[in-house]
Structure 1
Amino acid sequence: MTTIEAKIKQLRDENIKWVKLAFTDIDGVHRGKYVSIDKFATILSNGAGFCDCVLGWDMDDQLYDNVEFTGWHTGFPDALYKIDLSTERRLPDEHNIPFYLVEFNTKDGGEHPICPRSLLKRVLTKANSMNIDVKLAFEYEFFIFNETPETVREKNYQNLNHYTQGNFGYSLLRANAKADMYHQFLEYCEQMDFALEGLHCETGPGVWEAAIGYDSALNMADKATLFKTFSKSFFQKQDLMATFMAKCSMDYPGQSGHVHQSLYDATTGDSLFYQERAEHHISDTMRHYIAGQQKYLKPLLAMCAPTINSYTRLIKGFWAPTAATWGVENRTTALRVIGNNAKSQRVEFRLGSADANPYLVASAVISAGLLGIEQQLKPTNALIGNAYEQEDELPDELQLATNLRDAARDFQRCEELTQVFGEDFFRHFYATRMWEVREYERQVTDWQMQRYFEII
C-alpha cells in the first residue's frame, strides 16, 4: 500500500468526510478551502490548482497592476499545487478534521518561482549543499483587544478597548487574573503543533509575547505562519481580536517577530556556531554568518519589514534596530549573539516585525548568512552599550531605510539577490512592495485632514 493509499484508508476508517487545505500568499496571509475526502484523494494522486490570482493580489484581494507572473494578460490560469502530508494537524475546534499545508509547483513538478514556502525550500537546499542544518525559533509580540471584526469597523479602528489595561510587562498579576485564557491558549497551541516554550505579558495594554519552541527551519516557518493565523482565529472565537501589526499605536513599543538561528553540521550534528576557546565562543563560521547578515540586511529589509506600518516600529530607542549592527547579549543591536554552550549558541535577528511573512523572513536571514559563509566575510566590531547612540557612525551600507519605498529600492539594487532567489521572485516581490507603497500614497489620512483642512 502506498503512502497516499494508506493515508486515505486511515481517514476513511476514521469516517473523515472533509479536510482543510491552506497556503500563504506573498504577505503571509493564509488562503485555502475545505475539500471532500474524495476530492482530497484525487488531489493527492493527480494534483490540483487554485486560480493563480491568489499569487497576484494583495492582502485586500486587490489585483496587482504591475506584476508579470499573473494578471489579466495571462487569463488567470490555475496555479498547480501539491499537498504536504507531513504538515498534517487536527483542528481541535473543528471536530479534529485534518488540516494540511500546500505549496505551488510548476507543470513539470518543480518548485514554484514565487511561492513563499518553495522559496524557503530552495534556500534550505543551498544550505544542505553546504552540509548545513538550520534550526530556527520565532517569537512574536501581539496586542489583544476586547473587540470584534464588527466593532473595530464601527469605531473606524479608533479608541479600541484593550484586553487588559496598563503597562504590565512580565506581570504575574495579569497572568494570574487571566490564567484561564492563558491556559486555554497554551493548550490550543500545543494541540495545533506549534507549542510554545514561553508566554508572558509584554509592556503595553493587552500585549502578549509568545516564543515558539525551536525546530528545523521549514517546520518552524510553517509553525510561525500557522501561529499567527490560528492565534487570531482563537481570540476571535473568544470575542477578542489579536493584531500582529508592527505598531498599532505610537504610544507603545512596536510588535516584533524575532528569529533565533543556529547552524549545525548536517553530518555530525555538531554546532557550527560554537567554539570552546574563542571569544564569547563565537566560531569563525558564526562570524561569517553574522557578517553576511550585516552586509545584506539593507537590501533584504523589505522582506523582513514588508508593510508601510513596519517602519513606524524602526525608530531609535523603541526596542527595534535602525542599522545592521551586532553585539553579544545586546538587545539594542539588530543581531544579538546568545549562548555559552554548544546547545544554546545562536544569533537572534531582532529586526523583523510581527507583520512579516515568516517564510520570507527565514529565507532572507538564512540566505544572507550563507552568503557571508561563502564569501568568508568579516563583521564589524561588536557594539557594546547603547547601539542607537553609535549607529550614525556606521558606514552607509549598514544604514537601513526608514520607509518601504526606499527599502524596496535597496532590494531592487542588489543584483546578487536575483541569483539567490531567482529572477521571477526578485521582480515579483519588488513589484508587490511598490504596489503597497502606491496604495498608501493614494489615501487621504486623518492626519492630513486635521493638519490642513482649515488652516492651510
Structure 2
Amino acid sequence: MSRMQARDIKTPEDARRIVEERGLSHVKVGMFDIDGVMLGKYMRRDKFFSALEDGFAFCDVVLGWDSKDELYDNVTFTGWHTGYPDAPLKIVPDSCRELPCEGDDMLLFLAEFDGPAEGLCPRGLLQRVLERGRGMGYEAFGALEYEFFLFQETPESVREKGFRHLKPLTPDMMGYSMLRSSVHSELYHELLALSEAMDFPIEGLHTETGPGVLEAAIGVDGALAAGDKGALFKVFTKVWAQRRGLMATFMAKWSPDYPGQSGHIHLSLREIDSGKSAFFAADKPHQMSDVQRHFVAGQQKLMPELLAMFAPTINSYTRLIPGFWAPTEATWGVENRTTALRVIPGSDKSQRVEYRLGSADANPYLALAAAIGAGLYGIEQRLEPDEQVEGNAYELDHPEHQALPRTLWEAAQRLRASEAARELFGDAFVEHFAATREWEERQFRRHITDWELDRYFEII
C-alpha cells in the first residue's frame, strides 16, 4: 500500500490512519485568532484521536487578548468576569499538511472554534458567508497576493535596535529585478518549495519596489481553501525566514519612505448548477455580467462600513494615503490600479474583481469574508455601482459617501453602526471585533511617538 499523503486526508478515519502509519507520537494542531495570529500546540496521538471524534478545548483567553497577549478590557464574550473558561474546538481533518521544517513525517492540522465561540471564529465566519453564497446558487473562489519585506535581522536584533536602522535583505528600489532573484535564487527556490509542500502554491514570486520587498501571488482555490492558504503562507513564510537568520514582516507599512504592503484579493463566483462563471458575459461591456455588476456595487457600498476588517491595525492607515498604490476612496474601475476595486475582464475562466484595498496585515479569513459578503449583499439588493473611474483616481474629486474612515477608531464605529455587517456576520462578531479595534486604538493613545518628541520636545 502506498504511503498516505497529507493533502489526501478527508475524514477523521483518514487522519487517524496517517498518524498511525507514520508512527507519530504527537501532531501539531493550530487555529487562527481574531488578528490572524496562529496559535496551537503539540498534541499527543491518543488525545488527538479523541479530539477527532469529540473535539477538544482551549482556554477562551485566546479570544480575549490582543497580539501582545494583553487582555481586552471591553469585550463581553470572555474576560475576568467569566473566569476565562475553556472553549470547544473541532479538528478539520482535510486541513492536514506536511511540516517540512520539522522533518519528513510531522503533520499539522487546523482547528476551528465550536459552540458559542464559533460566532467569533474567523474561519467559521468565512464559512458562514460562503454558505450564504451557496444558498444563492454561487461558489466563491479567491486568490490572495501578499507583499512582504525581508530583513537581515533576528527577533533579538530588531528589539536591540528598537526596530530602527534595520538592514533589508537587499538595498535600493528594484521591482521585478532578475538581478536580485538570481543572486538570491536559493532563497526563492526554498520558499517556492515550501509553498508546494504545504499546499499554498505560489504562482508568481518577484521583487517589488523597495529594499528587500517581495510579492507572492498564491494560486486560486475555493474561498475557504484560499483563506487557509493565505493564513498559512504568512505564518510559515515568517518561520522559513527566521530559521535562516532573516525576518519577514507583513506590517501594512514599516517605513514612511516606501510604499505600504498590500494583501490584494482576487475574487470570482461560479454558478453551482452550471459550473459557469457568474461574472462573465461576452455580450456585456467589459464582459461584466449583471451579477458581477451587483457584486462590485455591494463591495463599493459597504467598503467604508467594513474597512476595519481589511485595515485592522493602527499601522494600516499609514498605507491609505494618495500616491502610494493604495486606494483612498471606495472607487472602482476597469483595469485601473488606482481604484479600490479593479474589474479584470477576461473569459469564463478569468473574469474577476480585485479588491485592492486589503493590506498585508489583515486576517485573511476576515478580509475574504468581508469582500465576499459585501458582494453577495450587492447581488441580493440588486445594487448598482457608482460611475467607474477612468484615469488617476487620486487626482479626482469623489462623492462624500465614497470616503473611507481615516483612523482605526472611526472604522470601528462605522462597523459597529453597520446594519449590513450585523446582518452578514452577526451581532456577536460585530460587537466583539469592533471592541477589539477600539482597544487597539486606546492602546496606541497611551504611547508617545518619535515624531511627537522631535516636533514638540524643545520648541513648544
TM-score range, shorter chain: over 0.9
- In the alignment, which residue of structure 2 is the partner of 1:31? 39
**Match runs of 1:221-240 below 5 Å:** 221-240=227-246
**Number of the residue aligned with 1:202:** 208
**Corresponding letter in the other structure for 1:189:** S
Q: What SS does the corresponding residue of 2:57 show, helix, strand or coil?
A: strand
Find out whether 1:78 has 2:82 as its counterpart.
no
* Distance verdict in 2 for CA 1:91–1:60, change over 3 Å: same
Partner residue, 2:4: none
> Out of 404, 427, 450, which is 1:400 matched to?
404
Who is 1:90 aligned against? 98
Amino acid at match of 2:21: D
- Return the alpha-carbon distance in structure 2 between the equivalents of residues 353 and 218 of structure 1: 19
Corresponding residue of 1:193: 199
* CA–CA separation in structure 2 for the residues paired with 1:28 and 1:431: 16
Find the aligned partners of 1:40 and 1:250 in 2 and give their Cα distance: 46
Seen in structure 2, the aligned counterparts of structure 1 residues 53 and 180 have a Cα distance that, compared at 3 Å, is same
Counterpart Cα distance in 1 of 2:425 and 2:289: 27
Deviation at 1:6, TM superposition (A): 4.4
> Is the aligned partner of 1:293 residue 2:299?
yes
Pairing 1:46-65 to 2, within 5 Å after superposition: 46-65=54-73
1:8-50 deviation line (CA, Å, top 9, x unaligned)? 2332122111100111111000000001111101111221110
CA distance in 1, matches of 2:200, 2:98: 12
* Residues in 1 aligned to 2:369 and 2:18: alpha-carbon distance in whole angstroms: 35
**Could you say which residue in structure 2 is the equivalent of 1:422?**
426
TM-score w.r.t. length of structure 2: 0.96
Q: Is the 8 A contact 2:340 2:357 kept in 1?
A: yes
Which secondary structure state, in structure 1, belongs to the residue aligned with residue 348 of structure 2? coil
Check whether the contact 2:201–2:219 (CA below 8 A) recurs between aligned residues: yes
Q: Which letter maps to 1:69?
A: F
What are the superposed Cα offsets for residues 387-421 of structure 1, whole Å, 9 maximum, x if unpaired? 1112x3x2222110111111111111212211211
Among 149, 155, 158, the residue aligned to 2:155:
149
Residues 317-370 of structure 1 deviation map (CA, whole Å, 9 limit, x = unaligned): 110000010101000000001132111100000000000000000010111100
Retained in 1: the 8 A contact 2:334–2:345?
no
Question: Which amino acid in structure 1 is aligned with residue 145 of structure 2?
Answer: E
| Count of residues in Structure 1 that have an aligned counterpart in Structure 2 | 450
* Unaligned ranges ≥5, structure 1: none
Q: 1:271 to 1:5 in 2, by over 3 A?
A: closer
CA shift for structure 1 position 152: 0.1
Q: Distance in 2 between matches of 1:307 and 1:434?
A: 10
- Given residue 267 of structure 2, which amino acid in structure 1 is its aligned partner? Q
2:17 alignment partner, one of 9, 12, 34: 9
Corresponding residue for residue 435 of structure 1: 439
- Report the 3-state secondary structure (helix = DSSP H, G, I; strand = E; otherwise coil) of the residue aligned with 2:146: strand
Per the alignment, residue 103 of structure 1 pairs with 112
Secondary structure of the corresponding residue to residue 102 of structure 2? coil
1:3: Cα distance to partner?
A: 4.3
Cα RMSD of the aligned pairs, angstroms, is 1.1
Matches of 1:154 and 1:376 in 2, distance apart?
55
8 Å CA contact 2:192–2:202 kept in 1: the answer is yes
Choose from 444, 450, 459 the match for 1:446.
Answer: 450
Is the CA contact (8 Å cut-off) linking 2:11 and 2:94 kept in structure 1?
Answer: no
Structure 2 unaligned blocks of 5 or more: 1-9
The AA in structure 2 aligned to 1:77 is P
Picking from 247, 252, 269, the partner of 1:263 is 269
* Separation in structure 1 between the aligned mates of residue 141 and residue 380 of structure 2, nearest angstrom: 19
Deviation, structure 1 residue 97 = 0.6
Q: Cα offset for 1:454?
A: 1.7
- d(CA) in 2 for partners of 1:23, 1:14: 23
For 1:329 and 1:416, the matched residues in 2 are separated by 28
Structure 2 letter corresponding to 1:424: A
Q: Deviations over 1:128-170 (max 9, x none)?
A: 1001000000000000000000000000000000100001100
Match of 1:338 in 2: 344
1:452, CA displacement in angstroms? 1.7
SS in 2 for 1:16: coil
- Runs of 4+ in structure 1 off by over 6 angstroms are none
* Residues 1:114 and 2:120 aligned together: yes
- Whole-angstrom CA distance in 2 between matches of 1:454 and 1:205: 33
Distance 1:326 1:150 in 2: 43
Q: Residue in 2 aligned with 1:247?
A: 253
Tell me the equivalent position of 1:355.
361
Q: What residue is the counterpart of 1:311 in the other structure?
A: 317
Q: What is the SS of the residue equivalent to 1:93?
A: helix
Deviates most, 40-49 or 64-73: 40-49
The residue identity in structure 1 corresponding to 2:354 is: E
Shift of residue 5, structure 1, vs aligned partner: 3.9
SS of equivalent residue, structure 1 residue 260: strand
| Distance (Å, rounded) in 2 between the aligned partners of 1:304 and 1:263 | 20
Kindly provide the amino acid, as one letter, of the partner of residue 297 in structure 1: M
- Residues 396 and 90 from structure 1, CA distance in 2 versus in 1: closer, same or farther, beyond 3 angstroms? same
Q: Distance in 2 between matches of 1:6 and 1:147?
A: 41
CA distance in 2, matches of 1:100, 1:318: 38
Which residue does 1:220 correspond to in 2? Answer: 226
Quickly say closer, same or farther: Cα 1:386–1:230, change in 2 above 3 A.
same
The one-letter code matched in structure 1 to 2:245 is D
SS of 1:72 mapped into structure 2: coil
Is the 8 Å Cα contact of residues 11 and 93 (structure 2) preserved in structure 1?
no
| CA distance in structure 2 between the partners assigned to 1:122 and 1:315 by the alignment | 33
For residues 206-228 of structure 1, what are the alpha-carbon distances to aligned partners after superposition, in whole Å with 9 as ceiling and x for unaligned?
A: 00000000000000000000000
Which TM-score applies when normalising by structure 1? Answer: 0.97
SS at match of 1:254: coil
SS state at 2:93 partner = strand
